[in-house]
Amino acid sequence: MDSEPKLSVLFTRDEIAATVSRLAAEIRHDYLDKNPVLIAVLKGSFVFLADLVRQLDFPLEVEFVRLSSYGRGTESSGTVKMAPGALSQIKGRHILVVEDIIDTGLTSAFLLDYLRRRKPASLKFCTLTDKAARRRGPVNIDYRGLAVPDKFIVGYGLDCDERFRNLPDICVLEQ
Ligand code: 5GP
């Protein structure tokens, strides 16, 4: 039988909460009168989005997309796919993409390109965590949460083979 994976806390729930509050203040400042559409990337962003929107006290809408670049396991397959299912109107709207993590940047570049072609009024990008060391191309991050080292992290929505999304802290999965 496999031994239990070892987890070590990287960011506590309090550090995460402080970061979400900071990002919410920045977003509120920019979107107060814009009725933006926040587009969260499933599944990992669901906890972050839920905490974020409850700190945004102005009109906004929420959409979800499902993308995958990871098969099972911890290495990116390098290609990004979008699950079928239409997003509501993008054209002319102020769009804010909400991500849990940006790693190579392939997922975000794909989604931002997809959205840009649908002619939004504006398009910005928010990520809770940023693993900059592994970036394979430039992605402009408008709202950046926490810098993470080149380790595989889980918790606060992030999984490994569907486990650990429910951890309240962000932890490094020691391989
Ligand atoms: P990218 O396309 O930027 O390489 O990867 C983005 C996606 O890969 C994220 O939305 C997430 O699903 C997954 N990912 C990248 N790094 C990690 C990590 O350290 N932990 C977890 N759980 N997922 C990651």
**pLDDT tens for each residue of 109-127:** 999 999 999 999 999 999 9
Cα–ligand 1 centroid distance for 121 (angstroms): 28
How far is it, in rounded angstroms, from Cα 89 to Cα 41?
17
Averaged over 66-82, what is the pLDDT?
Answer: 64
ω into 91 cis (within 30 of 0): no
pLDDT above 80 for 86: no
Strand partners, 122: 94
pLDDT of residue 5: 85
Strand partners, 98: 40, 126
pLDDT above 70 for 37: yes
Cα–ligand 1 centroid distance for 69 (angstroms): 8
Pocket test for ligand 1, best of 48, 107, 175 (most atoms within 8 A of CB): 107
pLDDT confidence bin for 67, thresholds 50/70/90: confident
41 CA: nearest ligand 1 atom: 10
Residues lining ligand 1, Cβ inside 6 A: 41, 44, 69-70, 76, 99-108, 131, 152-154, 158-160
How far is it, in rounded angstroms, from Cα 162 to Cα 143?
27
Of 2-6, 74-78, 133-137, 167-171, the poorest mean pLDDT is in 74-78
pLDDT confidence bin for 103, thresholds 50/70/90: very high
Domains of the chain, each with CATH number or no CATH: 14-148 (3.40.50.2020)
Q: Are the beta carbons of 169 and 155 closer than 8 angstroms?
A: yes
How far is it, in rounded angstroms, from Cα 19 to Cα 146?
7
pLDDT of residue 23: 98
Cα–ligand 1 centroid distance for 33 (angstroms): 32
Averaged over 41-66, what is the pLDDT?
Answer: 96
Phi, psi dihedrals of residue 51, rounded to the nearest 5° = -70, -40
pLDDT of residue 62: 95
